[in-house]
Structure 1
Amino acid sequence: MARMHSRRRGSSGSDRPTATEPPEWSEVDEAAIEERVVELAEAGHDPSVIGLKLRDEGVQGVPVPDVKLATGKKVTEILEEHGASDDLPEDLRNLMERAVGLREHMERNPGDAQNKRALQNTESKIRRLVDYYRGDELDESFTYEYDEAKELLE
């Protein structure tokens, strides 16, 4: 399938192995995993980074290959239970940060046509994601505006 904003094809990747239970070598207590997830979230890490840290560093020296297999819950579900979740979904926040950076660049460099196009594409992706999340994770009245995005990210 082609990428969203270019004529190139997407890169193919390998599929995750279909496992129904965690491996024997990674037997870590569910409570310890949840505690570590909350600790990493309070340190300011995003859910994707938390998953990488648990995979690489582990809990008490034992790596956790898949949080959902080990605990039965996703990282974001654990964060919601403990009240450590973010007000915006991670992918939407990252796109908003990129759009704010591009807008600031455009204010300094008004003749930069490539970044103007990149800003248009990024804001298009943001609007599409807002439509997807509206009602579930965002308010019904939420719309993307540059000024509001800048305030939300501060």
Structure 2
Amino acid sequence: MINITIFVFCVIYVSKALQMIKGTLTLVEPKTKKSNRSVAVHENVMEVLKAERKKQIGYRMVLGETYKNNNFVCSRDDGRPMNPDYISKTFPKIKRKLGLEVRFHDLKHTHATMLLKQNVHPKVVQERLGDSSIGITMDTYSYVSPDMQKEAAKKIGNIIK
């Protein structure tokens, strides 16, 4: 789970990770320096995040001083952070409701693969994922289909005519 500092200009700033350490939720530095990043998101995503933030502000107004203002996007009604395991365990219910056939762990892979298939520059994909190197991103997420091989052959053929 990521602690996302406030969003401005459709950019999410990832600065900390939340981990369960010896039974306690603990804010830690991300795995690598590259994991500490800013990620541009679509305005539709921002609307969902703003709605969640508005809901949290409502809870804070009702609960007053008992509200734990930790600035997490994914939090309980009282402001405490959600356990990352809760999100992983809840995901199967959500995906059934939405008719998705993807595991929670597959979301990062799916995101990367979809971007690469749309010819988004691999360096951009690496930065979005927070991977430590472009090699890791490409080795892990790129997939060369037969159609891609045919397209490459066509392009080189056009160049050497």
What TM-score do the two structures reach when normalised by structure 1? Answer: 0.29
TM norm structure 2: 0.28
- Considering fraction of residues, name the structure with more strand: 2
